[in-house]
Amino acid sequence: MIFVIFSAISILYIFYLYKNYGEKSQINLKNLRLVLPFFVITAGLIVVFQIDSGIHLKDEYSKLSERNMKIRENIKIIKNNIPILEEQVRDEPNNLRGNIMLGKSYMLINEFSQSAQFFKKAISIESNDPDLLLDYIFVLRKIDEKKNKVEIINTYEKLITTNSDNVNNYNMYLNYLFEINDVKTTKLVLSKVIENPNIGNKDSYKKALDDLNKNTQISHMVKIKLSKDVISTLQQSKNVFFILRSDKPAPFAVKRMKSAQIVSEILISDNNIMINNSDQLPTKVTLLIKTSNEDFVNTEMKTVYQSDLISLKNYNNTEIFVDKVLIN
């Protein structure tokens, strides 16, 4: 609307700019060639404005606004109902329906920690409901899919037992394992799918397992030897990550060790390869040693060592000696 008003004012301005006072003619026709292009451009801009402004989508915006209002109203109702449901569950701790409703209510308002508690209680009462198991997995992953790895894997295993022929459950499980780079469990799940006689079209699963096995046959790729001073320094950290990084954005291999596990020789093997990179082994990598208080790779890790490029052409005989690291 502002653009339309501006265009109208501009037209009036041009009109009076070329107006000849004291004459009957309002516009000097000699200047008409200068004015017409302006009118054409202005008209074109008005059309473009009408399209880009979304005025023609006014009804859609109104519907979207109404939907948002309904969502806000529903959230308000959910929040008002939570205390009532909690009182019911306090009186009847084994109330399956009450625990499920509380889990779903907290999930809908993004209170995932609270939601997980009630879903976990509901599963302890009835563990064969696939929708309940999927909701529990969802909130656990929202909280932290790496910290909750053990619980998530156990829940996926329960999900598989509810219907061992449901390939969608296997696919969701495999996608999660792929994201957290659990090679060992990925192989086991792929084998279950392949061995299941009631699941058809297994070519993609067979290829995935073959690729993993093909690229994880090396007993170890890099042997890292640590000096006594380095061992002493690293043992002061809760977690130590040995990372091989190629020219790709994601690490090629990652090995996490607790402080008590740090010894004079560390082997980075096939089990430490990131699944994303298992299709092709690099010829050169850089070794990074990082420390962290968390049990998983995160942005807060501190780099205490970085090597020069290491050749992996002779995988079983690649060694690197680390005699000094930065002090935490």
Sequence letter at residue 134: L
172: nearest Cα among 153, 198, 148, 199: 153
- Of 188-192, 251-255, 315-319, the poorest mean pLDDT is in 315-319
Q: Which two tokens stand for residue 19?
A: 């107006």
Percent of the chain with pLDDT over 70: 73
CATH of the domain at 99: 1.25.40.10
C-alpha distances out from residue 199 to 39, 58, 196, Å: 69, 49, 6
Q: Give the mean model confidence (pLDDT) for residues 96-118.
A: 92
> Which of 214, 230, 253 is where one domain is finished?
214
Burial of 268 (0-12, 13-18, 19+ CB in 10 A): buried
Does any domain span residue 15? yes
Q: Is the pLDDT of residue 250 over 90?
A: no
200: nearest Cα among 227, 166, 173, 226: 166
Which residues face 305 on adjacent strands? 289
> Do 156 and 177 have their domain in common?
yes
Sequence letter at residue 296: F
pLDDT tier at 226 (50, 70, 90 boundaries)? very high
Neighbours of 271 (CB within 10 A): 14
CA distance 38 to 205: 65
Does any domain span residue 247? yes
- CB 316, CB 220: distance < 8 Å: yes
CA distance 263 to 168: 43
- CB 120, CB 132: distance < 8 Å: no
- Give me the sign of the Cα torsion angle 47, 51, 53, 59: positive
3 state SS of 290: strand
> Do 152 and 240 have their domain in common?
no
Q: Residue 11 has what pLDDT?
A: 60
Does any domain span residue 327? no
Q: What's the domain range around 171?
A: 83-214
> Do 232 and 142 have their domain in common?
no
Higher pLDDT, 263 or 5: 263
CA distance 285 to 76: 54
Does any domain span residue 296? yes
Q: Is the pLDDT of residue 241 over 90?
A: yes
> Do 209 and 238 have their domain in common?
no
> Which of 10, 33, 53 is where one domain is finished?
53
Number of domains in the chain: 3
> Do 145 and 201 have their domain in common?
yes
> Do 47 and 110 have their domain in common?
no
> Do 107 and 15 have their domain in common?
no
pLDDT tier at 220 (50, 70, 90 boundaries)? low
- CB 202, CB 193: distance < 8 Å: yes
> Do 179 and 226 have their domain in common?
no
> Do 22 and 109 have their domain in common?
no
> Do 203 and 226 have their domain in common?
no
CA distance 14 to 210: 76
> Which of 166, 188, 214 is where one domain is finished?
214
> Do 87 and 207 have their domain in common?
yes
pLDDT tens for each residue of 7-48: 666 665 555 555 554 555 455 545 555 556 666 676 666 666
> Do 228 and 209 have their domain in common?
no
